[in-house]
């Protein structure tokens, strides 16, 4: 990414923020005059200074391959990698030049610079940390091999870009929305990560994806106006979604049994488990020996009907968890990678959670876990709602794939 492109992204985001501010009631005083905004005083020098600071901070947090120097180099040292290699100080950003850091970390630098310019831009710092975490996970083994002499320095780490997450190319091109890193240890690519969002209202792409609304996405309708009562459907062209009239009659499942991958009828005394094919749920006999604090049924299902306080789920052994707590519960995870570092779960895996909350207990995932999507657990003191969650773990955060609440579930 060029320095000019980075400054342009920052300028457009600040411009959008100020435009929204000017249209809000908070921008006017009692006499109708515009009140100053903290971003009013940001000038081009401030943006370059923030980029410079962000470059150094990202380089301190990671080991960018383009900044590694070895014996005999006279470049200024930013931090030591080992006795033979160090990360040099990245060059100060100047117009007409490239950002002096790996392409895969360029957006992390831009996002970090934005968070330095205004305290309310903290969401961009989270975006930067997510990119840094993904980069470190993808290149951990590669950097080790490079600095230990097992790889030649010209063996470049791979980064690829895409406009649709399907067709990929080596360098960034206008309209690209996704980025992916090549895992040097497994010679495989990480899942597509969306890093660019909608640019204003003209439908073009080019600003970082910071929107949290459905209508702000690139392949969704641009407005809810006039769409009351509509439902979401995939377009005939299969390149996005649109609002359409709902089908006549009652559509969708209204009970647990109406779902396509659940049993056709209830059987008293049975428990819910993933079937042996791993593609649906079924009712099975309860574990032998009566109520058990921790036991296993099926191939990879963890069961606990008395969990309270904080429970640490073994995501290394199980990928499905059935919990029926009898008090407040905090759900955490414990898995250690090959380097002995504690992580939440297996990178790139999908986990299933079936949680019954029949007394409106406070049930939630550990606040240290980063979760994108609705992972709340339904509760009802007068019933037995079952919350079914499927969540994908990308090595840094959890992403909710789907969430179903069965209000009339009777264990």
Collect the ranges in the chain with pLDDT lower than 70. 149-158, 183-187, 195-213, 215-216, 218, 247-254, 269, 286-299, 336-342, 410-411
Task: Tell me the three state secondary structure of residue 226.
Answer: coil
Specify whether the CB–CB gap between 244 and 233 falls below 8 A: yes
Residue 93 is predicted with a pLDDT of 94
Q: What is the pLDDT of residues 341-383, one digit of tens each?
A: 667 888 888 889 999 888 888 999 998 888 998 999 988 877 7
Question: Tokens at residue 300, please?
Answer: 């990879």
One-character DSSP codes across 20-87: HHHTSGGGB-TTSPBPP-GGGG--HHHHHHHHHHHHHHHHHHS--GGGEE-TT--SPEEEESSSS-EE
Instruction: Please tell me the predicted confidence (pLDDT) of residue 90.
Output: 93
Per-residue CA distances from 176 to 91, 112, 194, 200, 205 (Å): 26, 21, 9, 16, 8
Distance in angstroms (rounded) separating the CA atoms of residues 252 and 231: 12
pLDDT of res. 200: 42
Q: Which helix (H) or strand (E) holds 4?
A: helix 3-22
Query: Residue 47: how many CA atoms within 13 Å on its side-chain side?
Result: 21
Q: What tokens does 343 get?
A: 């992580």
pTM, entire model: 0.41
3-state SS, one letter per residue, for 251-265: CCCCCHHHCCCCCCC
- pLDDT at position 299 is 60
Residue recorded with tokens 């400054």: 7
Q: Could you tell me the residue ranges of all domains in the chain?
A: 3-216, 256-406
Tell me if 206 sits within 8 A of 174, measured CB to CB.
Answer: yes
| Measured CA distances, 299 to 269, 283, 290 (Å) | 20, 14, 19
Check residue 110 and give its pLDDT: 94
Helix (H, G, I), strand (E, B) or coil at 350: strand
Summarised one tens digit per residue, pLDDT across range 304-355 is: 888 889 998 888 888 888 888 888 999 988 776 666 666 788 888 888 999 9
Q: Could you tell me the CA-to-CA distances from 88 to 2, 44, 67, 71, 99 in Å, in that order?
A: 19, 26, 6, 12, 14
Distance between CA 321 and CA 273 in Å, rounded? Answer: 9
- How far apart, in whole angstroms, are the C-alpha atoms of residue 368 and residue 333? 10
DSSP per-residue letters across 105-162: HHHHHHHHHHHHH-GGGHHHHHHHHHHHHHHHHHHHHHHHHHHTTSS-TTSPPPEEEE
């Amino acid at each position: 990414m060029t320095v000019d492109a980075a400054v342009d992204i920052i300028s457009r985001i600040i411009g959008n923020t100020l435009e929204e501010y000017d249209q809000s009631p908070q921008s006017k005083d009692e006499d109708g005059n515009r009140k100053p905004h903290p971003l009013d005083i940001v000038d081009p020098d401030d943006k370059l200074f923030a980029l410079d600071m962000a470059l150094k901070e990202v380089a301190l947090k990671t080991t960018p391959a383009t900044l590694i120097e070895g014996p005999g180099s006279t470049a200024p040292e930013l931090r030591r990698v080992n006795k033979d290699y160090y990360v040099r100080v990245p060059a100060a950003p100047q117009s007409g030049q490239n950002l002096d850091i790996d392409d895969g970390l360029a957006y992390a630098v831009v996002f970090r610079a934005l968070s330095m310019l205004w305290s309310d831009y903290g969401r961009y710092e989270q975006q930067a940390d997510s990119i840094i975490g993904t980069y470190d996970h993808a290149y951990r083994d590669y950097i080790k091999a490079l600095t230990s002499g097992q790889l030649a320095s010209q063996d470049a780490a791979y980064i690829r870009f895409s406009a649709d997450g399907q067709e990929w190319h080596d360098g960034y091109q206008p309209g690209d929305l996704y980025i992916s890193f090549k895992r040097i240890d497994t010679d495989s690519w990480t899942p597509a990560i969306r890093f660019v969002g909608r640019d204003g209202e003209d439908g073009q792409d080019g600003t970082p994806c910071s929107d949290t609304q459905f209508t702000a996405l690139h392949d969704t309708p641009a407005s809810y106006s006039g769409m009351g009562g509509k439902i979401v459907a995939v377009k005939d062209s299969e390149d996005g979604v649109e609002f359409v009239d709902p089908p006549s009659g009652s559509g969708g499942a209204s009970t647990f049994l109406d779902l396509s991958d659940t049993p056709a009828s209830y059987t008293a005394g049975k428990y819910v488990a993933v079937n042996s094919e791993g593609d649906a749920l079924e009712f099975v006999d309860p574990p032998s020996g009566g109520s058990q604090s921790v036991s296993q049924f099926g191939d990879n299902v963890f069961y606990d009907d008395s969990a309270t306080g904080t429970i640490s789920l073994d995501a290394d052994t199980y990928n499905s968890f059935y919990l029926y707590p009898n008090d407040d519960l905090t759900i955490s995870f414990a898995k250690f990678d090959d380097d002995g570092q504690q992580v939440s779960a297996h990178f790139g895996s999908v986990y299933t959670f079936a949680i019954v909350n029949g007394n409106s207990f406070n049930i939630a995932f550990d606040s240290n876990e980063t979760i994108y999507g609705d992972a709340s657990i339904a509760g009802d003191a007068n019933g037995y709602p079952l919350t079914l969650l499927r969540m994908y773990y990308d090595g840094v955060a959890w992403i909710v794939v789907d969430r179903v609440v069965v209000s009339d579930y009777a264990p």
